[in-house]
Amino acid sequence: MTEPDVAGGSDSDPTIEPTEEPRQGKMGIVVSVLFVGAVVFFAMFASKFGQDQLISASPLIGRTVPATALPYLERSGELSLTEYDGDIIVLNFWASWCPPCRLEQPDLVRAADELSDLGVTFVGVLFNDDAGAGSRFLDTYGRSDRAHYVLDDRSLMAFDFGVIGLPETFFIDRQGVIQAKISGGVSYELLVATIEQMILGNTPESVKTGELQTRN
């Protein structure tokens, strides 16, 4: 019985029948190499679009707030974050269609009511939604007289802050520098702890608390 010609030299020797085995062996090596290439390609492909990648990059931390002005949601006039230099700003992006936004709203209202006297300004930015739905949301889940609600009808502030889903909350220090970001819903305790760190002059840690919501 003829041994399989693993080296593949049978082509030059007419006495030896070509067999399937060595071809499969070589094919295995070729396929292995190609697959490694595919794995690397897809790993790169996946990382390019991964939301977590975008979050961990946090390119905005340490930047000064942009001067973009937005109209108030329920009254005339415009708000620009630069008006509040000297205050700690809690900037919360939300929408009426976002379930975690409903959960966090009472906590945001409570924090705004209780902490505004400490020089903390709460700004709620209605994003990717219409004004009517936003107002109905506030009617249902609560609004704070101490907070400011604005409408980002053209997504301008959302682009400035790199918003990729809702809710997202940014913390801006008294010098107007973005210090931290919470991706996902916030709780009263987390808000207080983060603001406390900023009042003490520390840099709070950016965290992710849950899935971000997007709307098709």
Closer to another protein at the Cβ: 39 or 118?
39
Pseudo-torsion of CA 209, 65, 204, 195, nearest 10°? -90
- How near is the Cβ of 117 to another protein at its closest, in Å? 25
Three-point CA angle 182, 180, 175, nearest 5°: 140
Closer to another protein at the Cβ: 147 or 195?
195
- How near is the Cβ of 145 to another protein at its closest, in Å? 28
**Contacts with another protein, residue ranges (CB under 8 A):** 6, 21, 24-25, 27-29, 31-32, 34-39, 41-43, 45-57, 59-60, 128, 154-156, 158-165, 183-184, 187, 189-190, 205, 207-212, 214-216
Q: Which amino acid is at 152?
A: D
Closer to another protein at the Cβ: 76 or 216?
216
* Residue 102 burial class via C-beta count within 10 angstroms: exposed 0-12, middle 13-18, buried 19 and up: middle
Closer to another protein at the Cβ: 56 or 175?
56
- How near is the Cβ of 134 to another protein at its closest, in Å? 14
- How near is the Cβ of 149 to another protein at its closest, in Å? 19
User: 174 near 87, Cβ under 8 Å?
Assistant: yes
Closer to another protein at the Cβ: 120 or 163?
163
- How near is the Cβ of 43 to another protein at its closest, in Å? 7
Distance CA 190, CA 202 (A): 15
- E-assigned strand segments in the chain: 69-71, 78-80, 88-94, 120-127, 148-152, 168-172, 178-183, 207-208
